[in-house]
């Protein structure tokens, strides 16, 4: 059985690593926050002292970090982690980062004889916990074939998007669309409730009508409409607004480079920046609801 090093045990990495343990893989784990490592030690993982210690004797490395700068700082440079990974090993870089950063890490890995895939995910923390994530994979098809059992332990849909960096490109397009859907849904919810409609009734009507979308299905931003959505838990957990702002920035950089016009994505980025300036960056991205209107005082903010 392959020995796996898993680096980055945040909202996503922790449940992903847990599913690998459940599938019987042997894991060394590392995060700057030691408390999350300890959670997995109780479930059979080895807590590494640092990233280098984690990859010692591992033939597979999986990383789930916040942004491009974290991934580049970890892997690249003369003494970066790639220099400490055995040639022939497999690296699955699952963070959402700039396609150009992913390509730089791909190139550096290839020079050292390391097979790497950019493999960002979709499905949120619920998908990570349930092992139903979608992986959007960039890199060689032959490398993807070797990684199938690992992806299947953590996800349900595994797509080969194309060559190095393609997984990130697909992810950037997806998240731009998700942000636009979230903002449109929050705007419509506020409009209906402000004019006297019941939030749950409106949500159900739109869900079953032509406005239906993923946000209305699984992630309603109005508190109390969906018991399990972050909105019903004071916008805690889930996908931080600052990470969505990062992804929208990546979409704009990509559009700039290719000369595409993405006005909805540009507006979505501006609205998320405003939200960050109001201090909501660490809350779930559905907190964008607050820009458009919140429940009336008589309506509990966090009722199930
Ligand atoms: P997070 O901030 O909860 O977790 C990141 C973890 O990485 C933290 O625990 C942090 O301590 C750790 N870390 C940072 N630098 C490190 C280093 N050098 N060595 C070891 N650990 C380090 O973020 P998240 O929500 O888990 O998201 C991770 C990635 O997945 C991001 O790129 C995000 O855009 C993407 N993503 C998130 C979601 C979601 O719903 N949260 C969904 C899809 C994709």
More confident site: 216 or 125: 216
Specify whether 282 is located in the same domain as 173. Answer: yes
- Of 144, 162, 180, the residue at which a domain comes to its end is 162
Contact present, 203 and 188 (Cβ < 8 Å):
no
Average pLDDT for 264-279? 98
Specify whether 154 is located in the same domain as 195. Answer: no
Residue 300 forms part of a structural domain: no
* Ligand 1 mutation target, pool 5, 6, 9, 10, most atoms within 8 A of CB: 10
- Of 108, 132, 162, the residue at which a domain comes to its end is 162
Question: What atom of ligand 1 comes closest to residue 9's alpha carbon?
Answer: 9
Specify whether 130 is located in the same domain as 176. Answer: no
Q: Is 127 in the pocket of ligand 1 (CB under 6 A)?
A: no
Residue 76 forms part of a structural domain: yes
For residue 303, what pLDDT is reported? 45
- Tell me the backbone φ, ψ of residue 46, rounded to 5 degrees: -100, 130
**Would you say residue 231 has pLDDT above 80?**
yes
Residue 250 forms part of a structural domain: yes
Specify whether 148 is located in the same domain as 239. Answer: no
Residue 299 forms part of a structural domain: no
Residue tagged 């909501």 (tokens) = 280
For residue 296, what pLDDT is reported? 57
Residue 301 forms part of a structural domain: no
Residue 204 forms part of a structural domain: yes
Please state, in angstroms and rounded to a whole number, the distance separating the CA atoms of residues 206 and 184: 12
Question: What atom of ligand 1 comes closest to residue 14's alpha carbon?
Answer: 26
Specify whether 114 is located in the same domain as 19. Answer: yes
Q: Structural domain of residue 69, as residue ranges?
A: 3-162
Q: Is 8 in the pocket of ligand 1 (CB under 6 A)?
A: yes
Specify whether 18 is located in the same domain as 124. Answer: yes
The DSSP call for residue 284 is: B
Structure-block tokens of residue 84: 């400490």
Neighbours of 166 (CB within 10 A): 20
pLDDT tens sequence across 85-96: 999 999 999 999
Q: Ramachandran region of residue 108, left (φ > 0), alpha (ψ -120 to 50) or beta?
A: alpha
For residue 167, what pLDDT is reported? 98
Residue nearest to atom 39 of ligand 1 (CA): 239
Specify whether 8 is located in the same domain as 143. Answer: yes
Residue nearest to atom 13 of ligand 1 (CA): 8
- Residue 207 sits in a domain whose CATH number is 1.10.1040.10
Nearest to 174 by CA among 242, 265, 253: 265
Contact present, 214 and 178 (Cβ < 8 Å):
yes
Beta-carbon contacts of 256 under 8 Å, excluding residues fewer than 6 positions away, are none
Number of domains in the chain: 2
pLDDT above 70: percentage of residues in the chain:
97
Q: Is 4 in the pocket of ligand 1 (CB under 6 A)?
A: no
> 70 CA to middle of ligand 1, Å?
9
Please state, in angstroms and rounded to a whole number, the distance separating the CA atoms of residues 176 and 221: 17
- Residue 31 sits in a domain whose CATH number is 3.40.50.720
Q: Is 124 in the pocket of ligand 1 (CB under 6 A)?
A: yes
* Ligand 1 mutation target, pool 8, 51, 53, most atoms within 8 A of CB: 8
Among all residues, which ones are annotated catalytic? 171
- Of 135, 162, 189, the residue at which a domain comes to its end is 162
Contact present, 261 and 255 (Cβ < 8 Å):
yes
Specify whether 271 is located in the same domain as 178. Answer: yes
Specify whether 83 is located in the same domain as 157. Answer: yes
Give the 3-state DSSP-derived string for 24-85, with helices as H, strands as E and coil as C.
Answer: CCEEEEECCCHHHHHHHHCCCCEECCCHHHHHCCCCEEEECCCCHHHHHHHHCCCCCHHHHC
pLDDT tens sequence across 135-155: 999 999 999 999 999 999 999
> 11 CA to middle of ligand 1, Å?
7
Specify whether 94 is located in the same domain as 209. Answer: no
Specify whether 109 is located in the same domain as 220. Answer: no
pLDDT tens sequence across 174-204: 999 999 999 999 999 999 999 999 999 999 9
Q: Is 13 in the pocket of ligand 1 (CB under 6 A)?
A: yes
Binning pLDDT at 50, 70 and 90, where does residue 119 land?
Answer: very high
pLDDT tens sequence across 39-50: 999 999 999 999
**Would you say residue 302 has pLDDT above 80?**
no
Neighbours of 211 (CB within 10 A): 13
Binning pLDDT at 50, 70 and 90, where does residue 69 land?
Answer: very high
Residue 244 forms part of a structural domain: yes
Nearest to 29 by CA among 62, 2, 59: 62
Specify whether 72 is located in the same domain as 190. Answer: no
Binning pLDDT at 50, 70 and 90, where does residue 294 land?
Answer: confident
Find the DSSP H helices in the chain.
Answer: 13-22, 34-41, 51-55, 68-75, 99-111, 124-130, 141-154, 166-194, 199-207, 214-218, 241-258, 263-277, 289-292
The dihedral over CA atoms of 192, 198, 204, 206, expressed in degrees to the nearest 10, equals -10
> 268 CA to middle of ligand 1, Å?
22
Residue 302 forms part of a structural domain: no
């Amino acid at each position: 059985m392959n020995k796996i090093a898993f680096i980055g045990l945040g909202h996503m990495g922790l449940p992903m690593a847990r599913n690998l343990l459940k599938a019987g893989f042997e894991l060394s784990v590392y995060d700057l926050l030691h408390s999350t490592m300890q959670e997995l030690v109780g479930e059979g993982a080895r807590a590494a002292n640092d990233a280098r210690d984690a990859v010692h004797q591992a033939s597979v490395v999986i990383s789930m970090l916040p942004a491009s700068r974290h991934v580049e700082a970890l892997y690249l440079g003369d003494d970066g982690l790639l220099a400490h990974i055995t040639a022939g090993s497999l690296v699955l870089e699952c963070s959402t980062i700039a396609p150009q950063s992913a390509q730089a890490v791909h190139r550096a890995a290839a020079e050292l004889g390391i097979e790497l895939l950019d493999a960002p995910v979709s499905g949120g923390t619920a998908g990570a916990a349930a092992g139903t994530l979608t992986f959007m994979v960039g890199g060689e098809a032959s490398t993807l074939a070797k990684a199938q059992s690992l992806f299947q332990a953590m996800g349900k849909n595994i797509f080969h998007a194309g060559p190095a960096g393609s997984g990130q490109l697909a992810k950037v397009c997806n998240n731009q669309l998700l942000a636009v859907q979230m903002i449109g849904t929050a705007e419509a919810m506020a409009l209906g409730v402000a004019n006297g409609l019941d939030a749950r009734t409106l949500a159900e009507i739109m869900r079953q009508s032509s406005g239906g979308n993923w946000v209305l299905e699984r992630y309603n931003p109005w508190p109390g409409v969906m018991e399990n959505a972050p909105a019903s838990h004071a916008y805690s957990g889930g996908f931080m607004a600052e990470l969505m702002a990062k992804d929208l920035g990546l979409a704009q950089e990509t559009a700039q480079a290719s000369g595409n016009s993405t006005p909805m994505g540009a507006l979505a980025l501006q609205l998320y920046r405003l939200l960050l300036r109001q201090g909501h960056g660490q809350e779930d991205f559905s907190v964008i609801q607050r820009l458009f209107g919140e429940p009336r005082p008589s309506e509990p903010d966090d009722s199930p």
